Chains A and B, each alone.
Chain A
């Protein structure tokens, strides 16, 4: 009987032997599980946004009337700036994946170069978001008449820009609240991604992964970075395009 012999073929062993059923390392698997939970957080934020937007769709502002600014240009060009931000983030995703690819060839110089490009792209995106927030909060010089709660009474008042309670873009505070909440949460992810990338970049320069024999750490932070890009694709669609 073959099952009593000393040598076992892998086909008879549970899971085909001591081979991981997922064919991935522990670290990579855990990064994926973290990303699923993070994806659920972003999904719940975006579906809550969808709920409120359908509930108040008659008074919801149009994004192309809100985000019309572009640096060094006085004029009305909707979506151009957010288009540029999207391009920056997609580009930094590409440089990240090139860093991962260079790591798989164990080319330390190229990994360092592409990691640096990714960090610069991420920093540019965070800066762009700060600029966007600034213009959203300050608003237009004309402002807009809105019903505002003052000392428990509703009065008609000129509102400039946006706070958590009032904004000039619509009568409901929800648009500004979701804007701050969702793009803020995403921006925080980008910011922490830049910090994590910076740590890995320093390790690459120090030759930590050269000694270890592989650059899987770059791949793991790469997963996080692509996830941040993935979330932006959805935020971009639901906040700015639709």
Chain B
């Protein structure tokens, strides 16, 4: 009779599959490759002709494309999309919560710092003239 702690599901063995399943898997992986390639090429073409797009639209296109690619890399290549729900939540949720806050605070402060910079840049012109007078 096997004891409570003897049971080992052997997850490294559960991942194994046969030839037919492998064929199906490879088909899916190559599909992901084409998706990634097409998005990258579209981004490059838009980047090449970026003067004909508004900066706001460029940001939306590029960041949207990046997140799309990131989803496919994480979900398919890193196999997270096929993992257990608990694992998905543990990996993604704390990271996303933290990173959204970090992006928000850095960009808000960055924009404010620019306003502040242009504000103090008016004063140094007088002081730099004064400073030059000493030499």
**Which residues of A are in contact with B by a Cβ distance under 8 Å?**
17-25, 28-29, 32, 36, 39-40, 43-44, 47-48, 50-58, 64, 78-80, 83, 86-87, 90-91, 93-94, 96-98, 101-102, 104-106, 213-214, 216, 219, 222-223, 226-227, 229-230, 233-234, 236-237, 240-242
Contact = CB atoms under 8 A, between A and B. Distances in A.
A19 B30 CA distance: 33
Contacts of A29: 87
Which secondary structure characterizes the binding site on chain B? helix
Contacts of A97: 29, 76-77
B13 A213 contact: yes
Contacts of A227: 78
Nearest to B95: A36
- Say whether chain A's binding surface is mostly helix, strand, loop, or mixed: helix
A237 B47 CA distance: 10
Contacts, number: 163
Nearest to A7: B1
A54 B22 contact: no
B62 A237 contact: yes
Contacts of A39: 95
Contact of B47 (A64, A91, A104): A64
Given A55-B110, A93-B73, A233-B69, 13 more contacts: A22-B86, A23-B83, A40-B99, A48-B106, A53-B110, A54-B111, A94-B30, A105-B22, A216-B15, A227-B78, A230-B70, A233-B66, A237-B66
B73 A226 contact: yes
